C-alpha cells in the first residue's frame, strides 16, 4: 500500500516486470494457438447439408463441455507474483472496465433520452386523440338531439295534418248526416205524423236543414248527443235491419230520449222498454 502512490506516479514500468509480463503473454498465446489448431481440426470434418446446423450445435456443445471440464480441473494460476506487474495489470483492467462502463452509461443515457422523447410524443398523441374523441362525442350528441328534434317536429306536423283532415272529414260527415236526416227523417208535423220528403220536391229557400235546426234550438252538448244517438240508431238499422233495436244505457240522455219518443222518431220495443229503435221512415 505504501508503494502504490510511487508506482502510480511512475510513467515507466521496471524492465524486469515488462520482460516477465511479455514472457507470460507469449506462453498464453502459444496455448491459444494450440487450442485454435485443435478446434480447426475438429471443425474441418465434412458434415451433411441437411444436418449441418444440428452437427454444428453438437460440436459447439462438446467443445463447451470439454472447456468446462478443463476449467473445473484447472486451478487458478497467478499471472505473476510481482506486485508491480499485478498493480499495472489491475490499473489497465480498471481503465478498460471504466471505459466500457462509460460507454454503457452513455448508451443507456441516450436510450433513456430517446425513450423520454418517445413517451412525450406518445402522450401528446394520446391527448390529441382524446380531444378528437371528445369532439366526436359532442358532435354525435348534437346530431342525436337534432335528429330527435326533427323527428318530434315531423311527428307533430303529421299529427296536426291528421287532425285537420279529421276535422274536415267530421264537418263533411255532419253535413251529410244532417242532409240525410232532413231527407229521410224530417221533423213531425202538427198532426204528429212525419212526412217523408220526396226526391222530386225542390227545397224551399225558407226551409232549414235538420242540422241547422238542431244547432239553432239545442245547446252544443245536446247537439253532439243527438248526433251520437242518431249515428248509433242509424248504424244499427242499416247494418242489422232484422234486429234494429239498441239497448238503452247511461250514455243516453233521458230528457232527449223522451223527446225523441214523443216525436215519433224513436220507438220502444213492445216487450222490453229498455230497447229502442229508429222509426223506419224509409219503408
Residue-by-residue pLDDT tens, the chain, 283 positions:
333 344 444 444 456 777 887 888 888 888 888 887 887 777 655 555 556 778 788 888 888 888 888 777 776 666 666 788 778 888 988 999 999 999 999 999 999 999 999 999 999 999 999 999 999 999 888 888 877 777 788 888 888 999 999 889 888 888 888 787 777 766 666 554 544 444 444 444 455 555 555 555 455 555 566 677 778 888 888 888 888 898 888 777 787 788 788 878 888 888 888 898 888 766 5
Q: Where are the alpha helices (DSSP H) in 185-219?
A: 210-217
CA dist 144 and 142 (Å) reads: 5
- For the beta sheet containing 266-268, the strands, ordered from the edge strand earlier in sequence to the opposite edge, are 246-247, 275-278, 266-268
Which residues, 6 or more positions from 218, have their beta carbon under 8 angstroms from its beta carbon? 226
Q: Name, in order, each residue with C-beta under 8 angstroms of 79's C-beta and a sequence gap of 6 or more.
A: 21, 24, 85, 86, 89
Tell me what pLDDT residue 20 has. 80
With 0.85 as the threshold, say if the pTM is over it: no
Q: What pLDDT is recorded for position 198? A: 44
> Beta-carbon neighbour count of residue 261 at 10 Å?
13
User: Which three cell numbers mark 121?
Assistant: 410524443
> CA nearest 196: which of 207, 188, 206?
188
| Rounded Cα gap, residues 163 and 126, in angstroms | 55
Amino acid at each position: 500500500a505504501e508503494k502504490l502512490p510511487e508506482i502510480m506516479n511512475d510513467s515507466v514500468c521496471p524492465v524486469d516486470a515488462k520482460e516477465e509480463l511479455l514472457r507470460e503473454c507469449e506462453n498464453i498465446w502459444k496455448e491459444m494457438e494450440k487450442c485454435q489448431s485443435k478446434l480447426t481440426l475438429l471443425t474441418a470434418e465434412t458434415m451433411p447439408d441437411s444436418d449441418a446446423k444440428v452437427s454444428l450445435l453438437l460440436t459447439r456443445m462438446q467443445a463447451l463441455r470439454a472447456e468446462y471440464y478443463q476449467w473445473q480441473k484447472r486451478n487458478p494460476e497467478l499471472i505473476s507474483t510481482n506486485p508491480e506487474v499485478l498493480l499495472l495489470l489491475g490499473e489497465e483492467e480498471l481503465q478498460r472496465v471504466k471505459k466500457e462502463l462509460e460507454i454503457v452509461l452513455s448508451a443507456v443515457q441516450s436510450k433513456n433520452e430517446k425513450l423520454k422523447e418517445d413517451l412525450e410524443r406518445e402522450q401528446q398523441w394520446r391527448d390529441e386523440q382524446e380531444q378528437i374523441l371528445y369532439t366526436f362525442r359532442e358532435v354525435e350528441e348534437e346530431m342525436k338531439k337534432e335528429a330527435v328534434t326533427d323527428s318530434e317536429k315531423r311527428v307533430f306536423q303529421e299529427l296536426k295534418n291528421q287532425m285537420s283532415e279529421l276535422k274536415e272529414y267530421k264537418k263533411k260527415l255532419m253535413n251529410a248526416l244532417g242532409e240525410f236526416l232532413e231527407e229521410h227523417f224530417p221533423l213531425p208535423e202538427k198532426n204528429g205524423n212525419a212526412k217523408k220528403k220526396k226526391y222530386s220536391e225542390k227545397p224551399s229557400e225558407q226551409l232549414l236543414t235538420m242540422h241547422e235546426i238542431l244547432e239553432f234550438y239545442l245547446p252544443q252538448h245536446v247537439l253532439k248527443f243527438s248526433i251520437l244517438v242518431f249515428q248509433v240508431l242509424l248504424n244499427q238499422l242499416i247494418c242489422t235491419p232484422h234486429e234494429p233495436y239498441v239497448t238503452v244505457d247511461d250514455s243516453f240522455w233521458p230528457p232527449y230520449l223522451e223527446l225523441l219518443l214523443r216525436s215519433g222518431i224513436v220507438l220502444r220495443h213492445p216487450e222490453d222498454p229498455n230497447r229502442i229503435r229508429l222509426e223506419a221512415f224509409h219503408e
